[in-house]
Amino acid sequence: MQDTQLYQQILGLEHPWRVTGVVMKRESRTIEVAVECAGQVWACPECRQRAHLHDYETRRWRHLDSCQFKTILVAEVPRVKCEEHGTVTVKVPWAEKHSRFTAYFERLAIDVMLECSISAACELLGISWAEADGIKQRAVRRGQARKQATAMPRLCVDEKSFGRGHDYMTIVTRATD
């Protein structure tokens, strides 16, 4: 099996995305996986209307390591021109919009952060505090997006005064049975 086919399968990439090259950089202990998108009919990622290809933007994402080698995905991501939304970068299947990490890497990072301190997680994963924070924020947003509104069987409403004078705070809590 060729290395491009191996990474194509490891990454689970499907048409129109395909791995076109794998380069090992010994000095930096890095493997770079080049990914391309074969031509197809484009749609604006915002409104799903058909759009024309404008150009390509080179983007990089950190993926799960390959053994002791840091693994980076490098892709020429198409940008399309939508009449309503202007020039927009198409969505890639392996990462969220503004993330510089693949979804697999973010999943691992969250698991590590749940088990140890943030500084220890940064050390283990080789990421900065700001990058760890970005990964956490995106995980929180995903969790909130999955939440569904449910009717609460009972609510407690109370009013408490605080400080001096007539300052009151209304406290709404969910009552448990």
Indicate the residue among 60 and 91 with the shorter CB distance to Zn ion.
91
CB of 30 to Zn ion, least distance (A): 36
- φ, ψ of residue 44 in degrees (nearest 5): -70, 130
Shorter beta-carbon distance to Zn ion: residue 9 or 40: 40
Q: Closer to Zn ion at the Cβ: 70 or 85?
A: 85
Q: How far is the CB of 93 from Zn ion (least distance, A)?
A: 19
Closest Cα partner for 110 from 130, 82, 138? 138
- Beta bridge pairs of residue 50: 43
Place of tokens 């915002």: 46
C-alpha to C-alpha distances, 56 to 68, 89, 95, 106, 114, nearest whole angstrom: 31, 8, 17, 25, 37
Determine the 3-state secondary structure of 127 from DSSP.
Answer: coil
**70 or 79: CB nearest Zn ion:** 79
Least gap, CB of 134 to Zn ion (angstroms): 26
Strand partners, 35: 19, 75
Contact residues for Zn ion (CB under 5 A)?
A: 44, 46-47, 82, 84-85
Q: How far is the CB of 118 from Zn ion (least distance, A)?
A: 38
